[in-house]
Amino acid sequence: MKNFSITGIYTDLYQLTMAQVYFLTGKSHLHCCFDYFFRKLPFEGGYAVFAGLENVIDLLQELHFSKDDIDYLKDIGLKREFADSLEHFRFRGTIYAVKEGEIVFPNEPILRVEGNILEAQIIETMLLNILNFQSLIATKAARMKSVAGTKTLIDFGLRRAQGTGGYHATRAAIIGGFDSTSNVKAACDFGIPCVGTMAHSFVQSYDQELSAFRDFAANRPEHCVLLVDTYDTLRSGIPNAITVAGEMKARGHRLQGIRLDSGDLSYLSKHARKMLDDAGLHDVKITVSNQLDEWVIKSLQDQHAPIDIFGVGTSLVTAPPDAALDGVYKLAYADGKPRIKLSENLKKITLPDKKQIYRTYLKDEHHFDADVICLQDEKAPSVMHHPFEPDKSLSLTGRKQEPLLHLVMQNGKRGNTPIPLKDIARYTQKRLRMLPEEHKRFHYPHTYKVGISEQLRHERDELKRLHKP
Protein backbone atom coordinates (compact mmCIF):
# COMPACT_ATOMS: atom_id res chain seq x y z
CA MET A 1 0.00 0.00 0.00
CA LYS A 2 3.00 2.32 -0.13
CA ASN A 3 1.78 4.76 -2.73
CA PHE A 4 -0.82 2.51 -4.20
CA SER A 5 -1.75 4.00 -7.53
CA ILE A 6 -3.92 2.89 -10.39
CA THR A 7 -1.72 2.13 -13.38
CA GLY A 8 -2.25 0.04 -16.49
CA ILE A 9 -1.94 -3.22 -14.55
CA TYR A 10 -5.03 -2.38 -12.48
CA THR A 11 -6.81 -4.79 -14.83
CA ASP A 12 -7.53 -8.46 -15.51
CA LEU A 13 -4.72 -10.38 -17.13
CA TYR A 14 -6.88 -11.41 -20.08
CA GLN A 15 -7.20 -7.78 -21.18
CA LEU A 16 -3.46 -7.77 -21.66
CA THR A 17 -3.19 -11.20 -23.27
CA MET A 18 -5.96 -10.28 -25.71
CA ALA A 19 -4.24 -6.95 -26.32
CA GLN A 20 -1.05 -8.86 -27.07
CA VAL A 21 -2.82 -10.93 -29.70
CA TYR A 22 -4.23 -7.74 -31.27
CA PHE A 23 -0.75 -6.28 -31.21
CA LEU A 24 0.96 -9.30 -32.74
CA THR A 25 -1.67 -9.79 -35.45
CA GLY A 26 -1.67 -6.12 -36.46
CA LYS A 27 -5.19 -5.53 -35.14
CA SER A 28 -4.26 -2.95 -32.47
CA HIS A 29 -5.77 -0.10 -34.42
CA LEU A 30 -9.11 -1.74 -35.09
CA HIS A 31 -11.72 0.89 -34.24
CA CYS A 32 -14.39 -0.32 -31.86
CA CYS A 33 -17.07 0.72 -29.38
CA PHE A 34 -17.91 -0.78 -26.01
CA ASP A 35 -21.07 -0.08 -24.00
CA TYR A 36 -21.19 0.05 -20.23
CA PHE A 37 -24.54 -1.06 -18.85
CA PHE A 38 -26.03 -3.14 -16.03
CA ARG A 39 -28.81 -5.71 -16.16
CA LYS A 40 -30.42 -5.67 -12.74
CA LEU A 41 -31.33 -2.88 -10.35
CA PRO A 42 -29.82 -3.30 -6.91
CA PHE A 43 -31.89 -3.65 -3.70
CA GLU A 44 -35.00 -4.68 -5.68
CA GLY A 45 -35.36 -0.96 -6.22
CA GLY A 46 -36.82 1.08 -9.06
CA TYR A 47 -33.79 3.09 -10.19
CA ALA A 48 -30.03 3.53 -9.93
CA VAL A 49 -27.80 6.60 -9.66
CA PHE A 50 -24.83 6.71 -12.02
CA ALA A 51 -21.60 7.69 -10.23
CA GLY A 52 -17.84 7.53 -10.64
CA LEU A 53 -17.55 9.22 -14.03
CA GLU A 54 -15.34 12.14 -13.00
CA ASN A 55 -12.86 9.73 -11.37
CA VAL A 56 -12.77 7.57 -14.48
CA ILE A 57 -12.05 10.59 -16.67
CA ASP A 58 -9.26 11.74 -14.35
CA LEU A 59 -7.71 8.30 -14.24
CA LEU A 60 -7.91 7.73 -17.99
CA GLN A 61 -6.11 10.99 -18.67
CA GLU A 62 -3.05 9.82 -16.81
CA LEU A 63 -3.24 6.04 -17.21
CA HIS A 64 0.10 4.51 -18.10
CA PHE A 65 2.30 1.50 -17.42
CA SER A 66 5.27 2.05 -15.13
CA LYS A 67 8.64 0.49 -15.81
CA ASP A 68 7.98 -1.96 -12.95
CA ASP A 69 4.62 -2.87 -14.47
CA ILE A 70 6.28 -3.69 -17.78
CA ASP A 71 9.01 -5.76 -16.14
CA TYR A 72 6.38 -7.70 -14.23
CA LEU A 73 4.42 -8.43 -17.40
CA LYS A 74 7.53 -9.83 -19.03
CA ASP A 75 8.20 -11.93 -15.94
CA ILE A 76 4.81 -13.58 -16.19
CA GLY A 77 5.28 -14.44 -19.83
CA LEU A 78 3.99 -11.60 -21.96
CA LYS A 79 6.09 -11.08 -25.10
CA ARG A 80 8.91 -8.59 -24.81
CA GLU A 81 7.93 -6.58 -27.92
CA PHE A 82 4.36 -6.20 -26.71
CA ALA A 83 5.26 -5.42 -23.10
CA ASP A 84 7.80 -2.81 -24.20
CA SER A 85 5.20 -1.17 -26.44
CA LEU A 86 3.11 -0.47 -23.34
CA GLU A 87 5.66 2.13 -22.27
CA HIS A 88 3.96 4.44 -24.78
CA PHE A 89 0.43 3.36 -23.94
CA ARG A 90 -1.94 6.25 -23.39
CA PHE A 91 -5.70 6.19 -23.62
CA ARG A 92 -6.62 8.24 -26.71
CA GLY A 93 -10.21 7.15 -27.04
CA THR A 94 -13.51 9.03 -26.97
CA ILE A 95 -16.23 8.60 -24.39
CA TYR A 96 -19.91 9.46 -24.38
CA ALA A 97 -21.79 9.15 -21.11
CA VAL A 98 -24.89 10.22 -19.25
CA LYS A 99 -24.17 12.92 -16.69
CA GLU A 100 -22.70 11.80 -13.40
CA GLY A 101 -25.58 11.67 -10.92
CA GLU A 102 -28.10 10.74 -13.64
CA ILE A 103 -30.95 8.36 -12.80
CA VAL A 104 -30.44 5.24 -14.91
CA PHE A 105 -32.09 1.92 -15.63
CA PRO A 106 -31.15 -1.62 -16.72
CA ASN A 107 -29.83 -2.26 -20.23
CA GLU A 108 -29.26 1.39 -21.04
CA PRO A 109 -25.83 2.05 -22.61
CA ILE A 110 -24.94 4.56 -19.90
CA LEU A 111 -21.43 5.09 -21.21
CA ARG A 112 -19.76 4.30 -24.53
CA VAL A 113 -16.03 3.99 -25.15
CA GLU A 114 -14.82 4.48 -28.73
CA GLY A 115 -11.21 3.83 -29.52
CA ASN A 116 -8.80 1.24 -30.78
CA ILE A 117 -9.53 -2.22 -29.50
CA LEU A 118 -6.29 -2.42 -27.53
CA GLU A 119 -6.89 0.67 -25.39
CA ALA A 120 -10.61 0.03 -25.05
CA GLN A 121 -9.94 -3.46 -23.79
CA ILE A 122 -7.19 -2.59 -21.33
CA ILE A 123 -9.33 0.02 -19.51
CA GLU A 124 -12.37 -2.27 -19.13
CA THR A 125 -11.62 -3.63 -15.68
CA MET A 126 -10.73 -0.29 -14.10
CA LEU A 127 -13.77 1.39 -15.60
CA LEU A 128 -16.13 -1.34 -14.39
CA ASN A 129 -14.49 -1.42 -10.99
CA ILE A 130 -15.06 2.27 -10.38
CA LEU A 131 -18.45 2.78 -12.02
CA ASN A 132 -20.07 -0.38 -10.64
CA PHE A 133 -19.08 0.43 -7.09
CA GLN A 134 -19.79 4.13 -6.96
CA SER A 135 -23.14 3.69 -8.74
CA LEU A 136 -24.07 1.00 -6.20
CA ILE A 137 -23.26 3.23 -3.23
CA ALA A 138 -24.82 6.38 -4.71
CA THR A 139 -28.00 4.36 -5.25
CA LYS A 140 -27.96 3.05 -1.68
CA ALA A 141 -27.39 6.57 -0.36
CA ALA A 142 -30.24 7.96 -2.49
CA ARG A 143 -32.59 5.39 -0.97
CA MET A 144 -31.61 6.55 2.51
CA LYS A 145 -31.99 10.18 1.51
CA SER A 146 -35.46 9.45 0.09
CA VAL A 147 -36.69 8.43 3.56
CA ALA A 148 -34.55 10.78 5.66
CA GLY A 149 -36.06 13.81 3.96
CA THR A 150 -34.63 17.04 5.35
CA LYS A 151 -32.83 15.34 8.24
CA THR A 152 -29.06 15.19 8.15
CA LEU A 153 -27.23 12.07 6.91
CA ILE A 154 -23.61 11.39 7.89
CA ASP A 155 -21.34 8.66 6.54
CA PHE A 156 -19.65 6.78 9.41
CA GLY A 157 -18.61 3.78 7.30
CA LEU A 158 -14.84 3.68 6.87
CA ARG A 159 -14.15 1.10 9.60
CA ARG A 160 -16.47 -1.44 8.01
CA ALA A 161 -15.84 -0.53 4.38
CA GLN A 162 -14.37 -3.05 1.98
CA GLY A 163 -10.79 -1.93 2.52
CA THR A 164 -9.75 1.18 0.65
CA GLY A 165 -13.07 0.97 -1.19
CA GLY A 166 -14.29 3.16 1.66
CA TYR A 167 -12.55 6.10 0.03
CA HIS A 168 -14.77 6.25 -3.05
CA ALA A 169 -17.77 5.00 -1.07
CA THR A 170 -17.78 8.31 0.76
CA ARG A 171 -17.68 10.26 -2.49
CA ALA A 172 -20.58 8.21 -3.88
CA ALA A 173 -22.57 8.67 -0.66
CA ILE A 174 -22.43 12.43 -1.16
CA ILE A 175 -23.70 12.04 -4.73
CA GLY A 176 -26.62 10.00 -3.43
CA GLY A 177 -27.61 12.68 -0.92
CA PHE A 178 -25.44 12.42 2.20
CA ASP A 179 -24.41 15.65 3.89
CA SER A 180 -21.05 14.86 5.43
CA THR A 181 -18.61 12.17 6.51
CA SER A 182 -16.33 11.12 9.36
CA ASN A 183 -13.79 9.84 6.77
CA VAL A 184 -11.02 12.46 6.97
CA LYS A 185 -9.04 11.27 3.94
CA ALA A 186 -12.05 11.30 1.62
CA ALA A 187 -13.29 14.61 3.05
CA CYS A 188 -9.88 16.14 2.41
CA ASP A 189 -9.48 14.89 -1.15
CA PHE A 190 -13.08 15.40 -2.30
CA GLY A 191 -13.92 18.58 -0.40
CA ILE A 192 -16.67 17.07 1.74
CA PRO A 193 -17.74 18.46 5.14
CA CYS A 194 -15.98 16.39 7.81
CA VAL A 195 -17.69 15.75 11.13
CA GLY A 196 -17.41 13.58 14.20
CA THR A 197 -18.62 13.00 17.73
CA MET A 198 -16.87 10.90 20.41
CA ALA A 199 -16.30 7.17 21.05
CA HIS A 200 -17.08 4.92 24.01
CA SER A 201 -13.36 4.58 24.65
CA PHE A 202 -13.14 8.28 25.47
CA VAL A 203 -15.72 7.88 28.21
CA GLN A 204 -14.20 4.61 29.39
CA SER A 205 -10.75 6.13 29.71
CA TYR A 206 -12.07 8.26 32.60
CA ASP A 207 -13.17 6.92 35.94
CA GLN A 208 -16.40 8.93 35.71
CA GLU A 209 -18.59 9.55 32.65
CA LEU A 210 -19.23 13.08 33.89
CA SER A 211 -15.51 13.95 33.98
CA ALA A 212 -15.14 12.64 30.44
CA PHE A 213 -18.03 14.82 29.25
CA ARG A 214 -16.63 17.87 31.06
CA ASP A 215 -13.17 17.50 29.53
CA PHE A 216 -14.62 17.04 26.07
CA ALA A 217 -16.92 20.04 26.42
CA ALA A 218 -14.14 22.24 27.75
CA ASN A 219 -11.90 21.40 24.81
CA ARG A 220 -14.49 21.22 22.01
CA PRO A 221 -16.92 23.97 23.08
CA GLU A 222 -17.96 24.74 19.50
CA HIS A 223 -18.56 21.18 18.30
CA CYS A 224 -19.51 19.16 21.32
CA VAL A 225 -21.59 16.04 20.72
CA LEU A 226 -21.68 13.65 23.71
CA LEU A 227 -22.07 9.89 23.36
CA VAL A 228 -24.50 8.88 26.08
CA ASP A 229 -24.74 5.07 26.04
CA THR A 230 -21.44 3.86 27.49
CA TYR A 231 -22.98 2.78 30.80
CA ASP A 232 -26.70 3.58 30.93
CA THR A 233 -28.35 5.96 28.47
CA LEU A 234 -31.36 7.19 30.42
CA ARG A 235 -29.99 6.96 33.96
CA SER A 236 -26.43 8.11 33.44
CA GLY A 237 -25.57 9.35 29.92
CA ILE A 238 -28.37 11.84 29.33
CA PRO A 239 -28.47 13.21 32.90
CA ASN A 240 -24.69 13.79 32.71
CA ALA A 241 -25.05 15.42 29.28
CA ILE A 242 -27.72 17.74 30.68
CA THR A 243 -25.45 18.69 33.56
CA VAL A 244 -22.64 19.52 31.14
CA ALA A 245 -25.02 21.41 28.84
CA GLY A 246 -25.96 23.61 31.79
CA GLU A 247 -22.31 24.23 32.64
CA MET A 248 -21.56 25.07 29.00
CA LYS A 249 -24.48 27.53 28.90
CA ALA A 250 -23.12 29.26 31.97
CA ARG A 251 -19.86 29.79 30.07
CA GLY A 252 -21.66 31.12 26.97
CA HIS A 253 -21.38 27.92 24.98
CA ARG A 254 -23.93 25.47 23.68
CA LEU A 255 -24.01 21.67 23.74
CA GLN A 256 -24.47 20.78 20.09
CA GLY A 257 -25.94 17.36 20.56
CA ILE A 258 -25.98 13.87 22.00
CA ARG A 259 -25.50 10.57 20.20
CA LEU A 260 -27.41 7.34 20.82
CA ASP A 261 -25.53 4.26 19.58
CA SER A 262 -27.46 1.29 20.98
CA GLY A 263 -30.82 0.13 22.21
CA ASP A 264 -34.19 0.97 20.68
CA LEU A 265 -33.53 4.24 18.92
CA SER A 266 -37.19 5.21 18.68
CA TYR A 267 -37.84 4.65 22.37
CA LEU A 268 -34.59 6.25 23.48
CA SER A 269 -34.79 9.27 21.18
CA LYS A 270 -38.29 10.06 22.45
CA HIS A 271 -37.18 9.84 26.07
CA ALA A 272 -34.00 11.77 25.35
CA ARG A 273 -35.93 14.55 23.59
CA LYS A 274 -38.30 14.87 26.52
CA MET A 275 -35.47 14.96 29.08
CA LEU A 276 -33.58 17.56 27.05
CA ASP A 277 -36.70 19.69 26.48
CA ASP A 278 -37.65 19.49 30.16
CA ALA A 279 -34.19 20.90 30.89
CA GLY A 280 -34.80 23.73 28.43
CA LEU A 281 -32.32 22.26 25.97
CA HIS A 282 -34.57 22.45 22.91
CA ASP A 283 -31.70 23.18 20.55
CA VAL A 284 -29.57 20.17 21.55
CA LYS A 285 -29.77 17.82 18.59
CA ILE A 286 -30.13 14.05 18.68
CA THR A 287 -27.84 11.94 16.50
CA VAL A 288 -28.40 8.20 16.22
CA SER A 289 -26.19 5.44 14.85
CA ASN A 290 -25.93 1.61 15.08
CA GLN A 291 -26.71 -0.64 12.13
CA LEU A 292 -28.88 1.86 10.28
CA ASP A 293 -30.04 1.25 6.75
CA GLU A 294 -32.83 2.67 4.59
CA TRP A 295 -35.40 0.36 6.19
CA VAL A 296 -34.48 1.32 9.76
CA ILE A 297 -34.44 5.03 8.87
CA LYS A 298 -37.86 4.68 7.27
CA SER A 299 -39.18 2.88 10.33
CA LEU A 300 -37.82 5.55 12.69
CA GLN A 301 -39.37 8.25 10.52
CA ASP A 302 -42.70 6.41 10.43
CA GLN A 303 -42.61 6.32 14.25
CA HIS A 304 -41.91 10.08 14.36
CA ALA A 305 -38.74 9.47 16.35
CA PRO A 306 -37.40 12.97 17.19
CA ILE A 307 -34.04 12.34 15.53
CA ASP A 308 -32.11 15.14 13.84
CA ILE A 309 -29.14 13.31 12.41
CA PHE A 310 -28.63 9.76 11.15
CA GLY A 311 -25.07 8.38 11.20
CA VAL A 312 -24.89 5.46 8.78
CA GLY A 313 -21.94 3.11 8.44
CA THR A 314 -21.76 -0.48 7.22
CA SER A 315 -24.93 -0.60 5.22
CA LEU A 316 -24.13 2.61 3.35
CA VAL A 317 -20.58 1.83 2.33
CA THR A 318 -20.93 -1.90 1.60
CA ALA A 319 -24.54 -1.89 0.33
CA PRO A 320 -25.83 -5.26 1.47
CA PRO A 321 -27.56 -7.46 0.53
CA ASP A 322 -26.34 -6.89 -3.03
CA ALA A 323 -22.82 -5.54 -2.43
CA ALA A 324 -22.23 -5.19 -6.19
CA LEU A 325 -23.83 -3.70 -9.27
CA ASP A 326 -23.67 -6.18 -12.14
CA GLY A 327 -22.41 -3.67 -14.72
CA VAL A 328 -20.78 -5.09 -17.86
CA TYR A 329 -18.81 -3.72 -20.81
CA LYS A 330 -19.78 -5.22 -24.12
CA LEU A 331 -18.50 -4.80 -27.65
CA ALA A 332 -21.16 -3.14 -29.83
CA TYR A 333 -19.18 -2.13 -32.89
CA ALA A 334 -15.84 -3.13 -34.42
CA ASP A 335 -14.04 -2.76 -37.72
CA GLY A 336 -16.89 -0.79 -39.31
CA LYS A 337 -19.60 -3.25 -38.30
CA PRO A 338 -22.12 -3.55 -35.47
CA ARG A 339 -21.46 -6.52 -33.18
CA ILE A 340 -23.69 -8.67 -30.99
CA LYS A 341 -23.31 -11.19 -28.19
CA LEU A 342 -25.99 -13.89 -28.24
CA SER A 343 -27.33 -15.89 -25.32
CA GLU A 344 -29.93 -18.56 -24.66
CA ASN A 345 -31.33 -16.01 -22.25
CA LEU A 346 -33.07 -13.39 -24.43
CA LYS A 347 -32.38 -10.68 -21.86
CA LYS A 348 -28.65 -11.23 -22.19
CA ILE A 349 -28.50 -10.60 -25.95
CA THR A 350 -26.64 -7.32 -26.38
CA LEU A 351 -27.77 -4.25 -28.34
CA PRO A 352 -25.41 -3.68 -31.29
CA ASP A 353 -23.98 -0.48 -32.82
CA LYS A 354 -23.37 3.08 -31.55
CA LYS A 355 -26.41 4.25 -29.65
CA GLN A 356 -28.13 7.21 -28.01
CA ILE A 357 -30.70 7.26 -25.20
CA TYR A 358 -33.67 9.65 -25.22
CA ARG A 359 -35.49 10.40 -22.00
CA THR A 360 -39.19 10.98 -22.53
CA TYR A 361 -41.29 13.34 -20.43
CA LEU A 362 -44.85 13.25 -19.20
CA LYS A 363 -47.26 15.97 -20.33
CA ASP A 364 -46.32 18.21 -17.39
CA GLU A 365 -42.76 18.20 -18.82
CA HIS A 366 -41.44 18.04 -15.22
CA HIS A 367 -41.47 14.26 -14.83
CA PHE A 368 -39.99 11.55 -17.04
CA ASP A 369 -41.41 8.05 -17.30
CA ALA A 370 -39.75 6.27 -20.22
CA ASP A 371 -36.37 6.04 -21.98
CA VAL A 372 -35.81 4.87 -25.52
CA ILE A 373 -32.51 3.53 -26.85
CA CYS A 374 -31.90 4.20 -30.54
CA LEU A 375 -29.04 4.35 -33.03
CA GLN A 376 -26.68 7.25 -32.49
CA ASP A 377 -27.72 9.26 -35.52
CA GLU A 378 -31.46 8.70 -35.34
CA LYS A 379 -33.74 11.58 -34.46
CA ALA A 380 -35.72 11.21 -31.25
CA PRO A 381 -37.93 8.21 -32.10
CA SER A 382 -41.71 8.61 -32.37
CA VAL A 383 -42.36 5.09 -31.13
CA MET A 384 -40.53 2.71 -28.85
CA HIS A 385 -40.70 -1.09 -28.71
CA HIS A 386 -40.38 -3.43 -25.78
CA PRO A 387 -36.87 -4.91 -26.08
CA PHE A 388 -38.01 -8.54 -25.88
CA GLU A 389 -41.77 -8.65 -26.38
CA PRO A 390 -42.47 -7.98 -30.08
CA ASP A 391 -46.11 -6.93 -29.58
CA LYS A 392 -45.52 -4.21 -27.01
CA SER A 393 -44.85 -0.65 -28.14
CA LEU A 394 -45.48 2.91 -26.97
CA SER A 395 -46.13 6.01 -29.04
CA LEU A 396 -43.88 8.96 -28.17
CA THR A 397 -45.46 11.46 -30.54
CA GLY A 398 -45.69 14.94 -29.10
CA ARG A 399 -43.64 14.08 -26.01
CA LYS A 400 -40.68 16.16 -24.91
CA GLN A 401 -37.50 14.09 -25.36
CA GLU A 402 -33.97 14.73 -24.15
CA PRO A 403 -30.77 12.98 -25.30
CA LEU A 404 -28.82 11.56 -22.34
CA LEU A 405 -25.42 10.67 -23.78
CA HIS A 406 -22.92 13.52 -24.02
CA LEU A 407 -19.32 13.71 -25.12
CA VAL A 408 -17.13 13.64 -21.98
CA MET A 409 -13.75 12.65 -23.40
CA GLN A 410 -12.37 13.15 -26.88
CA ASN A 411 -9.20 11.48 -28.15
CA GLY A 412 -7.99 10.95 -24.61
CA LYS A 413 -8.72 14.49 -23.42
CA ARG A 414 -11.44 15.56 -21.02
CA GLY A 415 -14.34 17.01 -23.02
CA ASN A 416 -15.90 18.97 -20.19
CA THR A 417 -14.65 21.03 -17.27
CA PRO A 418 -14.44 19.00 -14.05
CA ILE A 419 -17.76 19.05 -12.22
CA PRO A 420 -17.65 19.76 -8.46
CA LEU A 421 -19.02 16.97 -6.29
CA LYS A 422 -21.61 19.33 -4.83
CA ASP A 423 -23.03 20.04 -8.28
CA ILE A 424 -23.23 16.35 -9.08
CA ALA A 425 -25.09 15.74 -5.82
CA ARG A 426 -27.47 18.63 -6.58
CA TYR A 427 -28.12 17.22 -10.05
CA THR A 428 -28.99 13.81 -8.57
CA GLN A 429 -31.59 15.32 -6.24
CA LYS A 430 -33.04 17.39 -9.08
CA ARG A 431 -33.39 14.32 -11.30
CA LEU A 432 -34.84 12.24 -8.48
CA ARG A 433 -37.57 14.86 -8.05
CA MET A 434 -38.40 14.37 -11.75
CA LEU A 435 -38.80 10.61 -11.31
CA PRO A 436 -42.43 9.72 -10.47
CA GLU A 437 -42.93 8.49 -6.89
CA GLU A 438 -44.06 5.01 -7.86
CA HIS A 439 -40.54 4.18 -9.07
CA LYS A 440 -39.06 5.21 -5.73
CA ARG A 441 -40.96 3.10 -3.25
CA PHE A 442 -39.08 0.22 -1.60
CA HIS A 443 -41.67 -2.53 -2.05
CA TYR A 444 -42.26 -3.67 -5.61
CA PRO A 445 -41.57 -0.33 -7.28
CA HIS A 446 -43.23 0.30 -10.63
CA THR A 447 -40.93 -0.77 -13.48
CA TYR A 448 -39.58 2.17 -15.45
CA LYS A 449 -40.05 1.66 -19.20
CA VAL A 450 -36.92 1.31 -21.31
CA GLY A 451 -37.61 0.60 -24.96
CA ILE A 452 -35.72 0.43 -28.23
CA SER A 453 -36.33 2.18 -31.54
CA GLU A 454 -37.64 0.48 -34.66
CA GLN A 455 -34.25 0.82 -36.39
CA LEU A 456 -32.26 -0.58 -33.47
CA ARG A 457 -34.65 -3.51 -33.14
CA HIS A 458 -34.30 -4.26 -36.83
CA GLU A 459 -30.52 -4.17 -36.69
CA ARG A 460 -30.37 -6.41 -33.61
CA ASP A 461 -32.71 -8.97 -35.13
CA GLU A 462 -30.71 -9.08 -38.40
CA LEU A 463 -27.50 -9.76 -36.48
CA LYS A 464 -29.19 -12.46 -34.41
CA ARG A 465 -30.19 -14.24 -37.60
CA LEU A 466 -26.67 -13.89 -39.02
CA HIS A 467 -24.99 -15.53 -36.03
CA LYS A 468 -27.49 -18.27 -35.13
CA PRO A 469 -25.78 -21.52 -36.25
CB closer to a copy of itself, 235 vs 363: 235
Q: Contacting a copy of itself (CB under 8 A), which of 80, 81, 87, 184? A: 184
3-state secondary structure of 384: strand
CB closer to a copy of itself, 82 vs 358: 82
Q: How far is the CB of 370 from a copy of itself (least distance, A)?
A: 29
- Which one of 91-99, 296-304, 336-344, 401-409 is the stretch in contact with a copy of itself (CB under 8 A)? 336-344
Q: How far is the CB of 28 from a copy of itself (least distance, A)?
A: 12
* Residue 358 near residue 382, CB atoms below 8 Å: no
Say how far apart CA 342 and CA 169 lie, in whole Å: 34
Q: How far is the CB of 39 from a copy of itself (least distance, A)?
A: 11
Say how far apart CA 260 and CA 203 lie, in whole Å: 14
Q: Is 144 in the site for a copy of itself (CB under 8 A)?
A: no
Say how far apart CA 238 and CA 246 lie, in whole Å: 12
Q: Is 326 in the site for a copy of itself (CB under 8 A)?
A: yes
CA 57 to chain centre: 16
- Which one of 61-69, 106-114, 278-286, 402-410 is the stretch in contact with a copy of itself (CB under 8 A)? 61-69
User: Judging by DSSP bridges, how do beta strands 406-410 and 413-414 pair with one another?
Assistant: antiparallel
Q: How far is the CB of 123 from a copy of itself (least distance, A)?
A: 11
Burial (0-12, 13-18, 19+ Cβ within 10 Å), 154? buried
CB closer to a copy of itself, 143 vs 439: 143
Q: Is 31 in the site for a copy of itself (CB under 8 A)?
A: no
CB closer to a copy of itself, 64 vs 458: 64
Walk across the sheet containing 285-288 and list its strands. Answer: 180-181, 152-155, 309-312, 285-288, 257-260, 225-227
* Residue 109 near residue 35, CB atoms below 8 Å: yes
What track of x and - describes contact with a copy of itself for positions 223 through 242 (by CB under 8 A)?
x-----xxxx--xx------
- Considering only residues 67 to 86 of the shown chain, the ones binding a copy of itself according to CB under 8 A are 68-69, 72-73, 76-77
Residue 373 makes CB contacts below 8 A (sequence gap 6+) with 107, 108, 109, 351, 355, 356, 357, 450, 451, 452, 453, 456
Say how far apart CA 356 and CA 403 lie, in whole Å: 7
Say how far apart CA 193 and CA 184 lie, in whole Å: 9
Instruction: Count residues near a copy of itself (CB under 8 A).
Output: 119
Q: Is 40 in the site for a copy of itself (CB under 8 A)?
A: no
* Residue 329 near residue 15, CB atoms below 8 Å: no
Q: Contacting a copy of itself (CB under 8 A), which of 51, 111, 158, 265? A: 158
- Considering only residues 239 to 278 of the shown chain, the ones binding a copy of itself according to CB under 8 A are 262-263
Q: Contacting a copy of itself (CB under 8 A), which of 99, 143, 145, 168? A: 168
Integer Rg of the chain from CA: 26
CA neighbours within 13 Å on the CB side: how many for 128?
22
Q: How far is the CB of 284 from a copy of itself (least distance, A)?
A: 18
Q: Is 344 in the site for a copy of itself (CB under 8 A)?
A: yes
Nearest to 144 by CA among 314, 355, 394, 381: 314
In sequence order, what are the beta bridge partners of 227?
259
CB closer to a copy of itself, 289 vs 428: 289
Q: Is 467 in the site for a copy of itself (CB under 8 A)?
A: yes
CB closer to a copy of itself, 8 vs 101: 8
Q: Is 204 in the site for a copy of itself (CB under 8 A)?
A: yes
- Which one of 165-173, 249-257, 273-281, 438-446 is the stretch in contact with a copy of itself (CB under 8 A)? 165-173
Q: Contacting a copy of itself (CB under 8 A), which of 121, 269, 287, 360? A: 121
